[in-house]
Each structure stands twice: as C-alpha cells, then as structure tokens.
C-alpha cells in the first residue's frame, strides 16, 4: 500500500543496442512503438534509418532459441565464470545455458538444421516433413521453441 511502484518506461525512453550503431530507438511509425515491455531483450528488424537519431522499423521481438537456431554466424560454447555461454556473431550475442549438456544439444541441433537446409537447397523437391531425419529435426525445433 505504500512505497514506490515500478513504472514501465515510456516508448521514447526504450533503447536497444546494435553492434555497429550503438543505441537505436523504435521508430514512432512502428507498430511496436507503444510497446513498453518486451519479454525478450532481442529484436530483429528490417529497416534502420537515421534522422534525429538512429531508428529501427519493421521490428519483432525474438526469443533466445529461435535466435540461436536461425541467427547468423557460427554457434560457439565457452565456460565463463562457471557458466556455459552460447555465443553468436563472434560473441556479440550471448546466452547462459542451463548446463554444458544443454549448450551442446542446442549447438548440435543448430548444426543439424543447417545441414538439413543445405540438403534442401541441393534437392528442392525433398519434403523435409516427410523424410524421417527432417521430420525429427523439425519436430524437435518446434517442441523447443513452443515450450521455451
């Protein structure tokens, strides 16, 4: 009944960081401009513009597993201060894994998905959902992402 109540930041106060531009803001014309809280601190965006400051448009929040599985660059695992860290993009994006086993399984799933996509590129007529290997990999990814 007394004390301070934590307030969500105003839309214009939200800042995100990119590797090359530092702080960026969601553009006022974006659907997400009025969003004051994101469950994940990661956004993907289509367009970046610079006017009075750097803005992003056409952005969507993305959670950890889709980012690790579908993000660019190689997945690396390292032990830092007792935690197993999964990193992407030369260490720019990092996540702490629950255990070494979880980190290795996620890395292996990413490798399997990359190989599956390479196979699809080589042979576009293959139905990945009908082949046993493809359906297992896709099923595991769907389960992981939907139960996150």
pLDDT digits (tens, 9 = 90+) for 99-119: 999 999 999 999 999 999 999
Tokens found for residue 76: 């690396």
**CA atoms lying within 13 Å on the CB side of residue 39:** 6
Question: What's the CA angle centered on 67, arms 17 and 47, to 5 degrees?
Answer: 50
Three-state SS at 79: strand
pLDDT digits (tens, 9 = 90+) for 28-52: 998 888 888 888 888 999 999 999 9
Tokens found for residue 70: 């579908």
Predicted structure pTM score: 0.77
The residues spanned by each domain of the chain are 11-62, 65-146
pLDDT > 90: percent of the chain: 56
54 near 21, Cβ under 8 Å?
yes
């Amino acid at each position: 009944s007394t004390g301070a109540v934590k307030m969500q930041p105003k839309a214009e106060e939200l800042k995100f960081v990119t590797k090359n531009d530092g702080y960026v803001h969601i553009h006022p014309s974006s659907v997400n401009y009025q969003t004051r809280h994101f469950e994940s601190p990661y956004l993907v965006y289509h367009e970046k513009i610079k006017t009075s400051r750097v803005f992003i448009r056409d952005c969507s929040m993305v959670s950890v597993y889709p980012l690790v599985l579908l993000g660019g660059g190689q997945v690396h695992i390292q032990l830092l201060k007792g935690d197993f860290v999964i990193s992407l993009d030369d260490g720019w994006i990092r996540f702490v894994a629950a255990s070494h086993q979880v980190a290795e399984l996620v890395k292996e799933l990413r490798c399997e998905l990359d190989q599956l996509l390479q196979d699809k590129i080589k042979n576009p007529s293959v139905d990945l959902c009908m082949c046993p290997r493809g359906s297992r990999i896709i099923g595991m990814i769907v389960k992981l992402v939907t139960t996150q």
